[in-house]
Amino acid sequence: MLLLFRLDAAAVVLPHPDKVATGGEDAWFARGSTFGVFDGVGGWAEQGIDPGLFSRALAVETAREVAGIEGAEAAEEDLARALDTARSRVTAVGTCTACLVHLSASGSLTALNLGDSGFRLLRPSRVSPPHRLAVTLRSREQQHRFNCPFQLGVGSGDSAADGAVYSGVVRAGDLLLLVTDGVTDNLSERQICEALAGPLARGEPARSLAAALAASAHEASLQPGRSSPFAAAAQNAGLSHSGGKPDDVTVLCVRVLDGS
């Protein structure tokens, strides 16, 4: 069978500086051509509960559930069903956001996003300047109010059916990013593309691209005097915040390569 695409996928996680010992509260999985990122809601730590236990358990269970759609043309209800079933099997206490993306063998993209993690599909420009990236498909944050995202878990009224669904088409050369809000709270889309342009121009693999973006987001999160998307959102909500937002940073990068 002729393969239209090959996938080079890798993830990098940089925990919040205060959460290095526990590995942070983010989680991710890559199962064939289905990918997911999860962000544990930090408020549970105030009750003595590690939020990462729930997000990691949900990632494991979701990875098991999506095995049934591997290689298929997944519909949005397939991802929602997998996420809901996985949630029912998690016994840990907590809540988390979730973003799932499935790529079919024909190049179709199906995604489900609940909360303020998310994905970006980036495409290199075919004109000058070379390796300039443009966002061709993106998810949008879902918030009940400022800094309170939609979430799955104990005490939450949200379910997978409340997530936003997306569809698109990928082609060789595209970059698919799944990220937690440690990235999008600290870097604009322009800055995300700039962080990836150099490694992409050098032909570096997905792991190097993920590492470059994670490092840029982590560095930005620790700069108190810079402008950031989180600071702008806080201001729009009538709150005062300057600088980046220290947080766990997770980047799952998928390079879509020519199958030949």
Rg value, the chain, Cα: 18
Residue 250 binned pLDDT confidence (cut-offs 50, 70, 90): very high
Confidence of residue 228 (pLDDT cuts 50, 70, 90): very high
- Point out the least confidently predicted range of 27-41, 66-80, 206-220: 66-80
Q: Which domain holds residue 39?
A: 5-258
| The two three-digit tokens of residue 250, written as one number | 């997770």
Closest CA to 42 of 20, 61, 14, 16: 16
Does residue 128 have a pLDDT over 60?
no
List the CATH number of the domain containing 101: 3.60.40.10
Amino acid letter for position 156: S
The pTM assigned to this predicted structure is 0.95
pLDDT single digits (tens) 4-24: 789 999 999 999 999 999 999
CA 62/CA 28 separation, integer angstroms: 10
What share of the chain has pLDDT > 90, as a percent?
85
Query: For residue range 145-201, what is the model confidence (pLDDT) as tens digits?
Result: 999 999 999 999 999 999 999 999 999 999 999 999 999 999 999 999 999 999 998
Q: How many domains does the chain have?
A: 1
130 has a pLDDT exceeding 70 = no
